[in-house]
Structure 1
Amino acid sequence: MPRGPTLLIIGVLAGLAFPALADSVRPLMAAAIFVLVLGTFLQVDGAAFRRALGRPLVSLLLPALAMLACPLAVGFAARGAGFRPELIVALVLSVCAPPSTGTAAVARMLGFDATVPLAVTLLSMALAPITVPLIAAGFADLALDPLALAARLALLVVGAGALALLLRRQAAAQLARHSRTIDALVVASLLLFAIATMAGVRAQVAAQPATALALAGLAFACNLALQALGAVLTLGPLAERLTTGLILSNRNVGLVWSAMGAAVSPMTALFFAATQFPIYMMPRLIELLVRRERKEKASS
């Protein structure tokens, strides 16, 4: 059976190849995100999570880097490169979103420590109602409702966190016995979400194939640049550097997308969809890099 990272690629390609499948699972996207966050809360060690929150790198630097430095840097770089205003808006809005709720699950899937991405994601979500509207107004002249953003995030995080806390207190032994089942549910949720993100994309690609290809290339370039930035700025083992790269590069664009509503232009919508390809395809490349490093260490 294919491993987790390979399943993500299968999911996103299946959603693109079978539009009816993507459309049918789209209504389940919110439930899939909830299960992702819940499963990650259940799998992460509580003491390790609290220790991670006590580190300035995790509690201050990485959230500020993700929510302020990265979107501003991408925006000014795109302006300097002479990109069209509409494309600059799409780039900035995609990067000002908080890290993806699935990042911690992907990190765990790759054998990395999931506590840091979970902590940074939660702290970034707390910042999002402040930073996202400000950056959207500055670069795109858009007015996003901070209270609506906060409500969406609170419903997701507080709901999943409260349920996880209840389950940990009332059924800790059962959770330990069924850890593999929880892992499988998280992977299934990621797969479902990957398929759902492709709803409507096939028609957009068919209508504008050249534009879609260019935007996909730009999405991969932006994702790789942010992954490289995270790896360069992080000291320590390869796993920690790659984890930071995942945090900075994989963004919850669906949150900004839903907050914008009818204000989303066709170009921005197509770019938002294109950002899903590197999010679900790059973990396979990261897995290969990690395997190679482990083999080199084992042979030395």
Structure 2
Amino acid sequence: MLARLLATLGRRAPFILALGIFIGLALPGLAAFVRPLLTASVFAMLVITMLRIDWPKVIEHSRRPTRLLTFQLWVLIGCPVLVMLAVAPLDLPPGLKTAMVLYAAAPSLLSSPAIAVFSGLDSALALIVVIGTMFLYPFVLPPLALALLGIDLQIGAADLMIRLVLLVGGAFGLAMGIRKLAGEQRVKDIGFHLDGMLVVLMILFAIATMDGIAARAIAEPGFVAMFVIAVFAVNLGMQAVSMLVFFPLHRIARTTVALVTGNRNLALLMAALGTAADPDVFLYFAIGQLPIYLLPMLMQPVYRRIAGTGIPVKQSDQI
């Protein structure tokens, strides 16, 4: 019965993920209760995602390091510079402007490869870009934040790098151990069940991040609405610009890069900022979860059409 439930969740992942956001908003007590599970859920999501990755394709992508580095530098440097230029002339609260630029400077979202799996995109390429931006980010963010925003981030690149190595390396080791014990075919056979487990974990994460948002929305509806519009504009805007920048690539590759460009890892960014940041910045980061969880449902038909689901595509064309 549990296996059937997980398989059903995996097949309906985008809709269930969107539902998770509204559960967190409607049940603030539940959001506060599951918040301590954030770190564990991120690690578990990474393990399951690595089980679902097509590793031969990862190796194939790795043979083009210059192109991969271009993707990663675009995510970490090109996007925040463009967002900074776009918001500078706008009459917006300073905290909102800062948050929009910092969001664009964050590494790609850990669950982006999982979203790529649900959307029929290239999860292997998404994983490489995600991991690359995570490891470059401690070195890129502090000088970039100082140059663009005048923010001096008191963050130790070495300490953050160690934490990231433990997170990603631990998840990789556990996933490879499970794959070896279970066998390749068994892992493939339970693909939808693994997707269902991913959905459950992502829902827990979504619920936890909604802690306190409903109360702020009731107290300041107009102000919060402005932030909601901003987070969708930045997410979709970066995806659209990325599609144009990388238009010469195959449709699956450029759409995958657009996906990981629009969805950013706010947990790592919040850890870097600490408690000294403007409260409006943290409000933006919390609301920033809305497009991350709603767009996979709304955009899935678009992603699948672009990806050409059901149309055979040569592996070499996807790189």
Tell me the TM-score normalized by structure 2: 0.86
2:154 is matched with 144
**Count of residue pairs brought into register by the alignment:** 297
2:315 is matched with none
| Distance verdict in 2 for CA 1:149–1:289, change over 3 Å | same
CA contact (8 A) 1:89 1:140 kept: no
2:270 is matched with 257
Alignment gaps of 5+ in structure 1: none
Structure 1 residue 53: deviation in Å?
A: 1.8
| Distance verdict in 2 for CA 1:251–1:142, change over 3 Å | same
2:256 is matched with 243
Q: Which of 64, 87, 102 is equivalent to 1:78?
A: 87
Structure 1 residue 30: deviation in Å?
A: 1.1
Is 1:205 the counterpart of 2:214 in the alignment?
Answer: no
AA matched with 1:96: A
Structure 1 residue 101: deviation in Å?
A: 0.3
CA contact (8 A) 1:5 1:283 kept: yes
C-alpha offsets along residues 226-249 of structure 1, whole Å, 9 cap, x if unaligned? 110122223355443332211111
What is the alpha-carbon distance in structure 1 between the residues aligned to residue 77 and residue 31 of structure 2?
33
What is the alpha-carbon distance in structure 2 between the residues aligned to residue 77 and residue 41 of structure 1?
36
What is the alpha-carbon distance in structure 1 between the residues aligned to residue 154 and residue 59 of structure 2?
32
Question: Percent identical across equivalent pairs?
Answer: 33
What is the alpha-carbon distance in structure 2 between the residues aligned to residue 109 and residue 56 of structure 1?
26
2:177 is matched with 166
Structure 1 residue 65: deviation in Å?
A: 0.3
Structure 1 residue 56: deviation in Å?
A: 4.2
C-alpha offsets along residues 110-153 of structure 1, whole Å, 9 cap, x if unaligned? 12220011000001111011011122222142323123322332
AA matched with 1:122: I
What is the alpha-carbon distance in structure 2 between the residues aligned to residue 296 and residue 177 of structure 1?
20
1:156 is matched with 167
Is 1:271 the counterpart of 2:284 in the alignment?
Answer: yes
AA matched with 1:257: M
3-state DSSP of counterpart to 1:144:
coil
Q: Which of 185, 205, 208 is equivalent to 1:193?
A: 205
3-state DSSP of counterpart to 1:100:
coil
Mean Cα deviation higher: 174-183 or 90-99: 174-183
What is the alpha-carbon distance in structure 1 between the residues aligned to residue 173 and residue 100 of structure 2?
34
Q: Which of 90, 93, 115 is equivalent to 2:102?
A: 93
What is the alpha-carbon distance in structure 2 between the residues aligned to residue 241 and residue 280 of structure 1?
21
Aligned CA RMSD, in angstroms, stands at: 2.2
1:30 is matched with 39
3-state DSSP of counterpart to 2:274:
helix
Q: Which of 238, 242, 246 is equivalent to 1:230?
A: 242
3-state DSSP of counterpart to 2:211:
coil
2:191 is matched with 179
1:52 is matched with 61
Structure 1 residue 207: deviation in Å?
A: 2.6
Alignment gaps of 5+ in structure 2: 1-7, 312-319
What is the alpha-carbon distance in structure 2 between the residues aligned to residue 292 and residue 79 of structure 1?
35
Q: Which of 55, 62, 66 is equivalent to 2:71?
A: 62
